[in-house]
Amino acid sequence: MSAGTHENTAKVAGVEVSTDHYIGGERVPSRERFEVISPMSCEPIAYVSRGGEEEADRAVRAAKEAFPRWASLGPEGRGTYMRRLADLIDENVESLAAVECEDMAMLLRSLRARVIHRGARNFRAYAGLAASYEERDWRSQGTWNRVQRMPAGPAATITPWNAPFMLSTWKVAPALAAGCTVILKPAEWAPLSASLLADLTEEAGFPPGVFNVLQGMGEEAGAALVAHPMVRRVSFTGSPETGRLIGQAAARNLVPFTAEMGGKGPLIVFEDADLEAAARKAAGQYDDAGQVCLAGTRLLVQRSVAREFLELFDRFADEHVLGDPRDERTTISPLIHPDHLKRVEGFVERARAEGHEVLRGGRRSEVGPLFYEPTLIRPKSNDAEIVQREVFGPVLTIQEFEDEAEAVSLANSTEYGLSAVIYTSSLGRADRVGRMVRAGVVWVNTFLVRDLTAPFGGMGISGIGREGGDYALDFYSDLKTLQIQEGSTR
Ligand code: NAD
């Protein structure tokens, strides 16, 4: 591994990665660079171009220039490029997975087996979905009516550092399929796989400017991008704090935006549930060191089975292996960055100081510099910060409830509303509770299963707008109604 402070490429996990922006089909460096570290060693692995207003402007102009031609290709024409890109992603799984693993420490085996391929699937699926869109035609009041989708224009997509490759494809694929051109601003803690995606779009023959990567800090490159008046859509995934800023910037330009933000999902276990399955899944919420927006981090367990559940949970939690994400045995890898470790630690320290009971973990692990032990906290009250705020680390809380009404009330008691998990063997209860819980997605007796055509997004401070299926294609399009007076044309 090597990384020169002024070099335009870095060798990461044996893979050559460009550390510059990708704008209008060219690699563009910035004078300043920022350091990217490996979460495993805390050593620098790359120095990446640090863009600002100038680079953001250049990227948006490139996307605007490329837009008319890309839009005019139609869904079928664009689909040809997207399927080629999907094939290239599948062919390059090894290098994409190796770089992503080094950059943000997701488990290498998951990246290889699932996560990167899901990125490819997104491009393939959206190529198909866009092509199968049927314009709606009908007659009314003496006119022929038709609803059409028109590509919106250059789209700014801003992504977080957890699962950065896969999450970026959730935005880039529908935007491109809908006929938008794209500027992707990846997170500064894990920006490298976006650069590899740019290489693959070039190899797939995408016309210059259709896909651009702008590197840099959120408050510099990101802010300049979303404030740019030529951007016609803004799609953001990250924290609610940043989401508010993005929303303000988009509003100033009267540009539609979607925001997928944090979560504090409940995992509700009823007494009639398969307790072993529920406890296993609950302990699985420590996967990816808890850096998963959809995680069920608030365990809510019916009082009658709470003791039995906790015993099972402990058994499964004990099976976790903290270690190098490249190691087959590892189940929990390090946190992304020293600042994030301090943030996670701060939550637990404050919870301890407030007198909430730390049932397991609650400290750094000696396995490596950025490891934190899987932690379980029993809060004294539901309004505790540790219950109400997203930690985004391997920290869960456990609370008991008496009946369905109390379970629903606790589940809906935070400002978030991204996801919820329910364990019950009763279909009636699954339906009743599932309907009452405020969350963008509710899973019953399962977790993280996603149908690409279903809407995805959050309620409350977890999100505005929806991604997924036609919902995303509508977002990246301007919907238009065409009306023709009957009998007025031949
Ligand atoms: P973040 O909000 O700090 O950053 C997200 C992105 O926004 C980064 O690319 C960052 O550079 C950029 N950014 C920061 N300030 C900006 C500004 N002023 N203008 C424009 N862009 C700016 O979030 P993060 O720490 O990277 O990611 C973790 C958060 O993301 C967690 O809250 C997590 O729950 C959330 N998340 C949500 C989903 C979802 O689908 N709902 C998925 C993954 C992560």
186, part of any domain: yes
394, part of any domain: yes
Do residue 146 and residue 238 come from a single domain? yes
Tens place of pLDDT per residue across the chain (490 aa): 444 567 899 999 999 999 999 999 999 999 999 999 999 999 999 999 999 999 999 999 999 999 999 999 999 999 999 999 999 999 999 999 999 999 999 999 999 999 999 999 999 999 999 999 888 999 999 999 999 999 999 999 999 999 999 999 999 999 999 999 999 999 999 999 999 999 999 999 999 999 999 999 999 999 999 999 999 999 999 999 999 999 999 999 999 999 999 999 999 999 999 999 999 999 999 999 999 999 999 999 999 999 999 999 999 999 999 999 999 999 999 999 999 999 999 999 999 999 999 999 999 999 999 999 999 999 999 999 999 999 999 999 999 999 999 999 999 999 999 999 999 999 999 999 999 999 999 999 999 998 888 999 999 999 999 999 999 999 999 999 999 999 999 8
What interhelical angle do 74-91 and 93-104 show, nearest 10? 70
With tokens 């009946």, the residue in question is 403
490, part of any domain: no
- Could you tell me the CATH number of the domain that includes residue 97? 3.40.605.10
Q: Is 187 in the pocket of ligand 1 (CB under 6 A)?
A: yes
43, part of any domain: yes
Which atom in ligand 1 lies closest to the alpha carbon of residue 418?
41
- The pLDDT of residue 4 is 56
In this structure, the residue with its CA closest to atom 12 of ligand 1 is 218
The predicted-structure confidence for 269-278, as pLDDT tens digits, reads as follows 999 999 999 9
In this structure, the residue with its CA closest to atom 16 of ligand 1 is 218
Residue 448 tokens read as 């993280």
1, part of any domain: no
Do residue 429 and residue 377 come from a single domain? yes
State phi, psi for 18 to the nearest 5 degrees: -70, 135
In this structure, the residue with its CA closest to atom 42 of ligand 1 is 293
Best substitution site from 104, 158, 294 to test ligand 1's pocket, by max atoms within 8 Å of Cβ? Answer: 158
Please tell me whether the overall predicted TM-score, pTM, comes out greater than 0.85 for this model: yes
Do residue 272 and residue 368 come from a single domain? yes
User: What's the CA-to-centroid distance between 262 and ligand 1, angstroms?
Assistant: 9
Q: How many residues does the chain have?
A: 490
Q: Give the type of residue at 148.
A: Q
Distance CA 458, CA 132 (A): 27
Do residue 179 and residue 273 come from a single domain? no
Q: Is 440 in the pocket of ligand 1 (CB under 6 A)?
A: no
452, part of any domain: no
Q: Is 262 in the pocket of ligand 1 (CB under 6 A)?
A: yes
Which atom in ligand 1 lies closest to the alpha carbon of residue 263?
34
Residue 27 tokens read as 């690699």
Q: Is 486 in the pocket of ligand 1 (CB under 6 A)?
A: no
CB 392 within 8 A of CB 403: no
Best substitution site from 237, 288, 392, 471 to test ligand 1's pocket, by max atoms within 8 Å of Cβ? Answer: 237
CA 28 to each of CA 25, 31, 51, 263: distance values in angstroms, whole numbers, following the listed order: 9, 10, 10, 36
- DSSP H or E run through 49: strand 44-49
The predicted-structure confidence for 36-48, as pLDDT tens digits, reads as follows 999 999 999 999 9
Q: Is 235 in the pocket of ligand 1 (CB under 6 A)?
A: no
Q: Is 457 in the pocket of ligand 1 (CB under 6 A)?
A: no
488, part of any domain: no
Q: Give the type of residue at 189.
A: W
CB 352 within 8 A of CB 383: no
Q: Which sequence positions are flagged as catalytic?
A: 260, 293
Do residue 421 and residue 474 come from a single domain? no
- Could you tell me the CATH number of the domain that includes residue 374? 3.40.309.10
Neighbours of 464 (CB within 10 A): 19
Do residue 239 and residue 372 come from a single domain? no
Do residue 344 and residue 314 come from a single domain? yes
Do residue 419 and residue 468 come from a single domain? no
Q: What is the DSSP letter of 74?
A: H
User: What's the CA-to-centroid distance between 191 and ligand 1, angstroms?
Assistant: 13
386, part of any domain: yes
Q: Is 345 in the pocket of ligand 1 (CB under 6 A)?
A: no
Q: Give the type of residue at 384.
A: A
Q: Is 158 in the pocket of ligand 1 (CB under 6 A)?
A: yes
CA 435 to each of CA 37, 120, 352: distance values in angstroms, whole numbers, following the listed order: 44, 33, 35
- The pLDDT of residue 336 is 98
Q: Is 92 in the pocket of ligand 1 (CB under 6 A)?
A: no
Which atom in ligand 1 lies closest to the alpha carbon of residue 245?
18
In this structure, the residue with its CA closest to atom 36 of ligand 1 is 238
Do residue 238 and residue 308 come from a single domain? no
**Could you tell me the end-to-end alpha-carbon distance of the chain, in angstroms, rounded to an integer?**
69
Query: Residue 278's domain spans which residues?
Result: 265-444
Do residue 275 and residue 307 come from a single domain? yes
Q: What are 148's strand-pairing partners? A: 480
CB 361 within 8 A of CB 283: no
Q: Is 393 in the pocket of ligand 1 (CB under 6 A)?
A: no
Do residue 316 and residue 191 come from a single domain? no
User: What's the CA-to-centroid distance between 239 and ligand 1, angstroms?
Assistant: 5
Q: Is 391 in the pocket of ligand 1 (CB under 6 A)?
A: no
Do residue 221 and residue 148 come from a single domain? yes
* Pick from 53, 242, 225, 208: nearest CA to 155: 225
Q: Is 238 in the pocket of ligand 1 (CB under 6 A)?
A: yes
Which atom in ligand 1 lies closest to the alpha carbon of residue 217?
11
With tokens 């963008």, the residue in question is 440
CA 456 to each of CA 159, 160, 162: distance values in angstroms, whole numbers, following the listed order: 16, 16, 17
* Pick from 401, 396, 403, 406: nearest CA to 372: 396
With tokens 């934190």, the residue in question is 372
Which atom in ligand 1 lies closest to the alpha carbon of residue 238?
30
In this structure, the residue with its CA closest to atom 22 of ligand 1 is 218
User: What's the CA-to-centroid distance between 386 and ligand 1, angstroms?
Assistant: 20
Distance CA 471, CA 463 (A): 14
Structural domain total, the chain: 2
Distance CA 152, CA 130 (A): 14
Distance CA 445, CA 456 (A): 19
Best substitution site from 189, 220, 293 to test ligand 1's pocket, by max atoms within 8 Å of Cβ? Answer: 293
